[in-house]
């Protein structure tokens, strides 16, 4: 079950957070929209409504979750670089995934949102200087999170959920 929950492994904060590492994370964030589109290409509604693991979200909910999660992360990072250690709001991902829009809407609106969001996010991240990378926000559940570590986390997050979808497709022969 752990392999189905964490197909690329759990997130581990990198030991190195230098310009080369950051560039790789940004490249991953930049590539995520196309990779997610490819992951869901050709899936019908029944397939989109299939959970990626027993008790997990459906493919549809997963795509909508990525849009929700990455919007929150992008805004948190912008708060971090424009304020001093701002306290950000947590949200209940599981409850958001149950909402009508996340459980029933076509995935295209969220894919389009991810396209535009990631385009903006990448330009923002590439513009940061060393001081910007070290700025942080404070999450009520996870504490102080510097922008560089958050970038590593969201590069992992994109690949993590892509692997949920592509793993399901492989197991089901889609």
Q: What is the pLDDT of residues 67-97, one digit of tens each?
A: 999 999 999 999 999 999 999 999 999 999 9
Query: What per-residue confidence (pLDDT) applies to 1?
Result: 60
Query: What per-residue confidence (pLDDT) applies to 3?
Result: 87
- pLDDT per residue as tens digits for the range 6-25: 999 999 988 888 999 999 99
Nearest CA to 63 out of 97, 91, 28 is that of 97
Contact yes or no for 38/151 (Cβ under 8 A): no
Average pLDDT over residues 142-162: 97
CATH 1.20.120.450 fits 19-172, yes or no: yes
In angstroms, what CA-CA distances link 125 with 25, 34, 110?
Answer: 10, 19, 21
End-to-end CA distance of the chain: 21
> Where do the H-state alpha helices sit in the chain?
2-5, 19-40, 45-48, 59-82, 93-98, 100-104, 108-126, 130-134, 147-172
The set of residues, in sequence order, having a beta carbon less than 8 Å from that of 125 and lying 6+ positions away, is 22, 26, 29, 77, 151
């Amino acid at each position: 079950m752990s392999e189905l929950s964490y197909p690329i492994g759990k997130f581990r904060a990198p030991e190195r957070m230098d310009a080369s590492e950051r560039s790789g994370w940004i490249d991953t964030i930049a590539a995520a929209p196309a990779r997610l589109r490819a992951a869901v290409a050709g899936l019908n509604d029944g397939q989109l409504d299939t959970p990626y693991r027993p008790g997990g979200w459906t493919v549809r909910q997963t795509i909508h979750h990525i849009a929700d999660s990455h919007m929150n992360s992008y805004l948190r990072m912008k708060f971090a670089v424009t304020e001093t250690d701002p306290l950000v709001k947590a949200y209940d991902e599981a409850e958001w995934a149950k909402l009508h829009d996340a459980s029933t809407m076509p995935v295209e609106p969220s894919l389009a949102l991810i396209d535009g969001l990631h385009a903006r996010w990448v330009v923002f991240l590439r513009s940061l200087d060393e001081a910007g990378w070290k700025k942080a926000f404070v999450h009520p559940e996870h504490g102080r999170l510097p922008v560089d570590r958050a970038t590593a986390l969201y590069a992992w997050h994109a690949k993590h959920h892509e692997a949920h979808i592509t793993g399901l497709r492989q197991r089901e022969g889609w």
